[in-house]
Amino acid sequence: MAEENLNPIVYSKNVIEFVTVANEYCGFVETAGNHTTRSFLDKVQKILPLLYLKTSVLHEIESYEEMGLEKFVSEVDYNFLQQKIMNLLGQYDDFQEVFDPEMQFSDAPLTASISECLADIFQDLKDFLMSYRTGDELVMEEALWICQDNFRHFWGQRLVNCLRAIHSLVYSDLNLDDQVTGRKTDEEERDGESSKPDWLNQLFNNQED
């Protein structure tokens, strides 16, 4: 199939770039246990703004409301990942929240968690990626719409909230290297440069057969 016959929505340049960054984010946070606290925060500090940018420039699409999509990230998966990140960050996981709707009803500062924010972002992105890799264009479009809608109303705010806390930690005088949970991965040594995942390349190859 010629490239011009590819679905102009799900295979557009902006969507492919978003998929690539989302895949990099999910792959990285899944390996949280292989990093020091410092190296983990350094990488997350760089990938979150890129993820926000790539999501915000996506064109709006319509939803097929009758289509119910499978959820791939279970509660067990979510809790396991969140716990792994929380163990890595330790005492640095909590931060004071200032953009919580409940703030107006509270006399005391509200506390949020970096690990919970990152796990929330992961959950939506991983569900999207698993639907996207099916190659079913209707499923891919609906998954993209759901991910965009959740970005607008939920995890986009979570992203910028925890980025504020991560920025504060990265540029603090704290000795974040005290907490070492394992060796650095090959991806970290390569400085995490983005490239299309193999399964995404395979989707293109299948479309062109």
pLDDT tens digits for range 89-123 = 999 999 988 655 555 544 555 789 999 999 999 99
**Ramachandran region of residue 2, left (φ > 0), alpha (ψ -120 to 50) or beta?**
beta
pLDDT in tens, 56-82: 999 998 887 667 899 999 999 999 999
pLDDT confidence of residue 111: 87
The pLDDT of residue 185: 42
Please name the residues in contact with 66: beta carbons below 8 A apart, sequence gap of 6 or more.
Answer: none
pTM metric for this prediction: 0.81
Task: Tell me the pLDDT tens digit for each residue of 141-198.
Answer: 999 999 999 999 999 999 999 999 999 999 999 888 765 444 344 444 444 444 566 7
d(CA 37, CA 30) in angstroms, rounded, equals: 14
